[in-house]
Amino acid sequence: MKLGILQTTYLSESRKLLLLILPMALSRLSFKLMSTIDTIFLGHYGTVGDIAYVSQAGAVQVPMWLASIGLLSGVAIKTSHAMGEKNYAKAGNCLISILPYAFILAIFSVVLCQFGKPYMEAMGYKTDLINGTDILLKIYGWGFFPFVFNYTFASWLEARNKAGVVTKVITIALCLNILLDFVFVSGIFFPTWGSIGVALATTLVKCFIFVNYVSYIFFFMNDRKKFDIHLKLKNWWKKSHDIRVMGFFMGLSAVADGLAFSIPIFMVGYLGTESASIFGLSFDVAYLLFTVLLTIGIATGIRIGNAYGASNSPLVVVVHNIGMFYFILFNILFAVLLIYCDNFILHIYTSKVDLIEKSAPLLAISWVLLVGDSLQVFFGSICRALNDKKITTIIQVTFYPVCVVGLCYLFTFTWKMKLMGLMWGMGLGYAIVGVLLAIYSYILYKKFKKSLIS
């Protein structure tokens, strides 16, 4: 590729990728801000226990969230391939054929959330933590039904370059969430409902998002005929085969990731309610920033998927390099923010001075978790976009528990580093998985390029 053409390609693709990242990041940030705002309201109007209950309820839900997301992630990948082929009816089928499958997953998740108490009792949690968390799980559980469909709809819209619609819906939902938190938690209108009010607000907002997506896709989307959008579900199991197969392997990876993510948070439960609150605050800030890095990985995967569908190996390299640039840039910016602005950020979250002082050191090193986790997401997305299923899954399923959980236990309990050890263990564990996936993504690219030549 000549230098002039190469420069034009990099500039053009930088713009395309950035235009994809921005609305996707805004929508994901807005969605994550819902839980952040929940935490802020509890930090100012709730108790330390309320923050701990929400944190532990999230830990129980994470494997189910990630399992649902993983099992349905084939929608975005296969839609991006169809868009690269300019086969719009096929792209539409990627959404319609998977909806019954999403319904089954949604019902299963709702039922599972109603049985959190026996699980926590088996884990040996303290009684107050069990009781407070169990109530929230039951409420959050009903929000799983709209959540599963919301993820499916949003993934499909983003993969077909309609991320702006997702951004608008989530932004309006964020405003509604702030209003409901104010009503249920502030205590101005009636005695505060604390963490229960937060759970109710979140569940109602997810239902609002669901109604908006359904209305847009099936009734107001201008090009729905081009994408053959209808609810004829005949032979849906057969038609969704490729998506389900891709999702099955991604689901296995997601479950392993979810367990590797949740087990360290469960470890916090053994350190007490106050430790759970400290970790909950630091983790919420880190995960809010991680949402941007996650988006860079997913957007890069979508654009590489488009290039893969078009059999364009040089474009794969261009997209990878641009995505890596954005990945490194934002990791550096976020690390500086966490190290130098930790106290300022925590004052936004809570007015409890003692909690701020104890949380600041942990927040300052949470950049380790950001770098490690975003590294494995970035290269995992690239491997999936290059149409790999099995080997990527084997790497993730094998090394998530060994590296992440193993290092967390070693640092937290064996070396007695407590919360600091937990954060370092998670970050370094995910980084090891990320390096392995980076090596494998290079092998996949070479294989893809060779197949085009032959």
Residue at token pair 């409902």 = 193
Name which residue leads in pLDDT, 48 or 453: 48
In angstroms, the Cα distances linking 47 to 40, 272, 304 are: 11, 15, 46
pLDDT, greater one: 12 or 210: 210
Q: How far apart are CA 341 and CA 215, in angstroms?
A: 42
**Residue 4 pLDDT > 50:** no
Q: Residue 176: what pLDDT?
A: 93
pLDDT score of 114: 85
The answer to whether 368 and 427 are in contact (CB under 8 A) is yes
Contact 203, 38 (CB under 8 A): no
Listed in sequence order, the residues at least 6 apart from 407 whose beta carbon sits closer than 8 Å to its beta carbon are 424, 425, 426, 428, 429
Of the candidate ranges 33-47, 79-93, 364-378, 402-416, the one whose mean pLDDT is the lowest:
33-47
Predicted local distance difference test score (pLDDT) of residue 425: 93
Neighbours of 162 (CB within 10 A): 17
Per DSSP, 415 falls in state S
438 closest CA partner among 381, 389, 399:
381
d(Cα 316, Cα 357) in Å, to the nearest integer? Answer: 46
Is the pLDDT score of 5 beyond 50? no
Taking alpha carbons only, the member of 391, 374, 390 closest to residue 435 is 374
Highest mean pLDDT among 8-17, 48-57, 71-80, 439-448: 439-448
Q: What is the mean pLDDT of residues 304-323?
A: 87
Q: Which residues does 268 contact at the CB level (< 8 Å), separation at least 6?
A: 55, 275, 276, 279, 419, 422
Q: Are 411 and 425 in contact (CB under 8 A)?
A: yes
Which of 268, 140, 286, 258 is CA-nearest to residue 204? 140
Helices then strands, counting H and E runs in the chain, come out as: 20, 0
pLDDT band at 424 (very low <50, low <70, confident <90, very high): very high
> How many residues comprise the chain?
454
CA angle (81 as vertex; 209, 295 as ends), nearest 5: 45
What pLDDT is stored for residue 454 in this prediction? 58
pLDDT band of residue 3 (cuts 50, 70, 90) is: very low
Predicted local distance difference test score (pLDDT) of residue 34: 78
Helix (H, G, I), strand (E, B) or coil at 235: coil
**Residue 432 pLDDT > 90:** yes
> 186 vs 382, which has greater pLDDT?
382
How confident is the model over 114-146, as pLDDT tens digits? 887 787 777 666 777 788 888 888 898 898 899
Q: How far apart are CA 34 and CA 32, in angstroms?
A: 5
Residue 398 in this model has a pLDDT that exceeds 70: yes
Using alpha carbons, list the distances in angstroms from residue 271 to 26, 52, 125, 412.
35, 12, 10, 10
pLDDT of residue 162: 86
Residue-level pLDDT at 243: 79
Please report which confidence band the pLDDT of residue 1 belongs to, taking 50, 70 and 90 as the band edges.
very low
Residue 298 CB neighbour total at 10 angstroms: 26
Q: Please say if the pLDDT value at position 216 is more than 60.
A: yes
C-alpha–C-alpha distance, residues 317 and 101, integer Å: 34
% the chain with pLDDT above 90: 24
Q: Among 129-143, 254-268, 310-324, 345-359, where is mean pLDDT lowest?
A: 254-268
Using DSSP's 3-state secondary structure scheme, residue 385 falls into helix
E-strand spans in 80-179?
none
Cα(454)–Cα(450) distance, integer angstroms: 6
What is the per-residue pLDDT across 243-267, written as a single tens digit (0 to 9) for each? 777 777 777 777 777 777 778 877 8
> Structural domain tally of the chain?
1
Q: Residue type at 278?
A: I
Query: 76: number of CA atoms within 13 Å, CB side?
Result: 31
Which of 151-165, 202-216, 438-452 has maximum average pLDDT?
Answer: 202-216
113 close to 134: Cβ distance less than 8 angstroms: no
Residue 18 has pLDDT above 90, yes or no: no
Which of the four pLDDT bands, split at 50, 70 and 90, describes residue 429?
Answer: very high
Full domain range(s) for residue 120: 3-453
- Stronger pLDDT, 239 or 106, i.e. the higher one: 106
| pLDDT higher than threshold 70 for residue 207 | yes
**36-40, 97-101, 328-332 — which one is most confidently predicted on average?**
328-332
Provide mean pLDDT across the span 362-388.
Answer: 90
Between CA 262 and CA 57 the distance in angstroms is: 10
In one letter, which amino acid is 370? Answer: L
**In whole angstroms, how large is the CA radius of gyration of the chain?**
22
User: Is pLDDT of 179 > 50?
Assistant: yes
pLDDT at 390 over 60: yes
Closest CA to 152 of 220, 93, 102, 87: 102
Please state, in angstroms and rounded to a whole number, the distance separating the CA atoms of residues 320 and 414.
39
* DSSP secondary structure of 110-134: HHHHTTHHHHHHHHT--HHHHHHHH
Q: What is the DSSP letter of 192?
A: -
Average pLDDT taken over every residue of the chain: 85
The per-residue pLDDT for 77 is 79
User: What's the rounded Cα separation, in Å, for the pair 120 and 324?
Assistant: 40
Q: What is the pLDDT of residues 36-85, one digit of tens each?
A: 888 888 888 888 788 888 877 877 776 777 777 777 777 887 888 888 88
**Confidence class for position 19, pLDDT limits 50, 70, 90:** confident
Q: Is it the case that residue 8 has pLDDT exceeding 60?
A: no
Instruction: Return d(Cα 84, Cα 302) in angstroms, integer.
Output: 10
Exposed, middle or buried by CB within 10 Å (0-12, 13-18, 19+), for 278? buried
The upper half-sphere exposure of residue 426, i.e. CA atoms within 13 Å in the direction of its Cβ, equals 31
